[in-house]
Amino acid sequence: MTEEAKTSTSETVPAVSVVGPGEGETIVLGTTRMRVLEDGSRTGHRLAIAESVLAPHTQGPPQHRHGLHDEGFYVLSGTVRFTVGEQDHDAAAGTLVLVPPGVPHTFANVSDEPAVMLSTFTPDLYVQYFRDLQEVLAGGRPLTPQANIDAMSRYATEPATNPSTDLS
């Protein structure tokens, strides 16, 4: 292989990403601490991954639906209650919940113990939503339902006030 061919090949191969314990971007939203392990910048924006720690008795976001991305949740420890439309699912450690676009959902830690979950976003666009919420709080503004809805709307997400309503 010529030196020119070696160089052009190495330039097109993306670098491996390794995020060690304690590394990654930290986003704090009230009683939830999120560690962004991949924000999409190294995956061509196809995938983002975050680890979230929900304190005991932490309510999640208002029930909502995404128009453009799938969201996956793998419960690492504790139990997380997922509400999908009108139905509750208590997901213990080892449970995977995959939510496709258009499906109304929310989650909460209703237990007395912290819960940890790994979340995926495909594509990655929803990571910026969490950054936007953190910015609201850092600016000293309250995270009102309207502020949350405004942030969601920037990322093809809307409140699911009627679980049977389609996004289209």
- pLDDT for the residue numbered 144: 83
Alpha carbons 14 and 10: distance in angstroms, whole number = 8
**Mean per-residue pLDDT of the chain:** 88
Tell me, what's the pLDDT at 13? Answer: 66
- Three-state SS string across 149-164, please? HHHHHCCCEEECCCCC
Q: Are 80 and 92 in contact (CB under 8 A)?
A: no
In this predicted structure, what is the pLDDT of residue 145?
80
Residue 69 banded pLDDT, cuts 50, 70, 90: very high
pLDDT value of position 62: 86
Burial 112-150 (b: 16+ CB within 10 A, else e): eeebbbbbbbbbbbbbebbebbbebeeeeeeeeeeebee
**pLDDT tens for each residue of 77-122:** 999 999 999 999 999 999 999 999 999 999 999 999 999 999 999 9
- pLDDT higher at 165 or 29: 29
Res. 11 pLDDT band, cuts 50 70 90? low
pLDDT of residue 120: 96
Residue range 113-166, pLDDT digits in tens: 999 999 999 999 889 999 999 999 998 888 888 888 889 999 999 998 744 443
Q: What is the pLDDT of residue 164?
A: 42
What does the pLDDT read at residue 111?
Answer: 96
Residue listed under structure tokens 């999120």: 34
Give mean pLDDT, residues 3-21: 68
